[in-house]
């Protein structure tokens, strides 16, 4: 059985490295993708890594992950806050879901503190920087193994 893993990234994450490096660091999304694909391959996951600035495209990809019976790591970025349609799509998934934020959203200003996606996530990782993606892949590995 091939285990599928989708790593989906929301709005403005294509600008990592250039966008507010004092907050998000200097690592680019391409750097993160390369590291994720290498670890996913080592752990024998068939991995899809994508980014979009379109909420509808993100929902389509989450639904695709559902059809593929995939686990999901999602950094919803700006789609975290008040996006019920993204939440409803995430609720479809049967495999583990890890919500990921590069920054610790709980230490940020009020508008960044309450992700609607968290209620559907198996786990949430925030504040570990770009390394959070690798932690999330390892969490998926562990959670998948513990799933009945």
Which residues are marked as active site? 24, 101
Following CA atoms 127, 101, 29, 143 in sequence, which dihedral angle do they give, to the nearest 10 degrees? 100
Burial of 23 from C-beta contacts in 10 A (0-12 / 13-18 / 19+):
exposed
Residues paired with 127 in a beta bridge: none
9 known ligand binder: no
103 known ligand binder: yes
104 known ligand binder: no
Contact 72, 90 (CB under 8 A): yes
2 known ligand binder: no
Residues of each annotated binding site: 75, 88, 102-103
Residues of each annotated binding site for substrate: 75, 88, 102-103
């Amino acid at each position: 059985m091939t285990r599928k893993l989708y790593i989906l990234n929301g709005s403005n994450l294509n600008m990592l490295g250039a966008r507010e490096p004092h907050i998000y660091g200097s690592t680019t999304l391409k750097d993160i993708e390369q590291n994720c694909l290498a670890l996913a391959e080592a752990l024998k996951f068939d991995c899809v890594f994508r980014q979009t600035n379109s909420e509808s495209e993100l929902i389509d990809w989450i639904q695709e992950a559902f059809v593929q019976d995939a686990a999901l790591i999602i950094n919803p970025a700006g789609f975290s806050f008040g996006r019920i349609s993204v939440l409803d799509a995430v609720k479809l998934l049967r495999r583990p879901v890890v919500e990921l934020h590069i920054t610790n959203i709980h230490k940020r200003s009020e508008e960044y503190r309450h992700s609607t996606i968290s209620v559907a996530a198996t786990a949430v990782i925030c504040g570990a920087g770009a390394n959070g993606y690798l932690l999330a892949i390892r969490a998926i590995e562990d959670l998948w193994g513990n799933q009945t």
